[in-house]
Homo-oligomer: A and B are copies of this chain.
């Protein structure tokens, strides 16, 4: 390639080259050395608290000046408690079982060669994110635990905090140079360039809004695992326990509405609509949830309390106290709705009927399908993974919560005694 790079591009290229070199070294290190790095990082974060708070204060001041809303500013803030949680998180990851080196399977062929399938690091992982500064630490540490180098590109709003956090990580003496890289130029126009460094980066994980993910998917020459949106649902079957259904719907909608595993859609079996719609509408309204209902839903709830749903509502991720609600014709109606509109993230059926439940679990094509449980369990922590890099909305390599295993690749190791192919 004879294209001349701009200084900003050259800087990114250099960071990527260093990350590749670090990854080659990390891949050969034993678990003890990787874990020691994590312990050093935890200790450095504690030691350098003042530096981190000072940098974070700059981000908060800039956010306030820019008039960001309070919720966003709160997400940005690193308090004593946030930092302590980060540090605890690092030590928890250190303590997790190491997937690297694990024999996934092993067998012998009739000709005597022995084949082992062994977990290895992926290499260099690029993570492009918009969220809170704690993602910076989480991502770097999970990747480091699994022998991967990272090239991180966070959002503009958290840039001072991110620089400070990465500076603290990089000064850990046992860390190879280049193992954790931060792109400190947050110019959006550089994202496509980063996504083309396929000689140095093995995987790109974008975490953020539609526009960020669309840019990465369009521009990337590197495999991408998207962490995109979730339009999750609960389907209340005619044989549902109403009390259980109400409890699950309220939990899945209200407990934390701003996350991808909260429900955005409620499907109700026509057979029980006359009884269940008024009950759940009352409970949701009482809890401050705005219902957007189809015609049948509105028929069963008095008057103008309920906004009329449009087709757009079936695919909208509100991330807010809003719930699109539709009456469907039994299981088949629910399956048809989900095949058409689901984002394939998390969907739950509430029923006491085993046969119906098993059909739902088998036929709904989502990363996590539930029977009589809240969709809010789609989460690395709730799965028992100890930590997660995020929730994949793709079907290749990793689907659903991504823990340490999903941050590894594998290789085949073959031991012979001179075998040749006949």
Contacts and interface: CB of A to CB of B under 8 A. Distances in A.
Interface string A230-271: 000000000001001001100110010000000000000000
A368 interface: yes
Contacts of A378: 412
Interface of A is mostly: mixed
B122 A374 contact: no
Nearest to A261: B421
Contact of A419 (B241, B367, B377): B377
Interface string A209-225: 00000000110010111
Interface in A333-392: 339, 357, 361-363, 365-374, 376-378, 382-384
Contact of A371 (B365, B367, B416): B416
A122 B396 contact: yes
Contact of A377 (B223, B400, B411, B414): B414
B27 A363 contact: yes
Interface string A398-422: 0110000000011111111111110
A376 B372 CA distance: 51
Nearest to A226: B223
Interface residues of A, number: 66
Nearest to A410: B399
Contact of A373 (B223, B366, B411, B416): B416
Interface stretch (A47-55, A107-115, A276-284, A319-327): A107-115
A387 to B, nearest CB: 16
A329 interface: no
B361 A418 contact: no
Given A365-B123, A382-B421, A421-B377, A396 B416 contact: no
A130 interface: no
A150 to B, nearest CB: 15
A365 B416 contact: no
A68 B421 CA distance: 30
A32 to B, nearest CB: 15
A127 interface: no
Contacts of A113: 373, 377
A291 interface: no
Contact of A399 (B357, B363, B409): B409
Given A365-B27, A415-B373, A419-B374, A109 B382 contact: yes
Given A122-B395, A225-B396, A369 B413 contact: yes
A364 B28 CA distance: 9
Contact of A248 (B224, B370, B420): B420
A121 to B, nearest CB: 9
A44 interface: no
23 contacts: A28-B363, A202-B395, A202-B396, A223-B224, A248-B420, A251-B421, A365-B411, A367-B412, A368-B414, A369-B413, A370-B415, A371-B413, A371-B415, A372-B415, A372-B416, A373-B414, A373-B415, A373-B417, A376-B421, A378-B412, A382-B421, A396-B397, A396-B409
Given A109-B384, A115-B383, A373-B420, 20 more contacts: A28-B362, A198-B217, A202-B395, A203-B396, A247-B420, A251-B421, A255-B420, A368-B413, A369-B411, A369-B412, A371-B413, A371-B416, A372-B415, A372-B419, A373-B414, A373-B417, A373-B419, A374-B419, A396-B396, A396-B409
Interface of A: 24, 27-28, 107, 109, 113, 115, 120, 122-123, 198, 202-203, 217-218, 221, 223-225, 241, 244, 247-248, 251-252, 255, 339, 357, 361-363, 365-374, 376-378, 382-384, 394-397, 399-400, 409-421
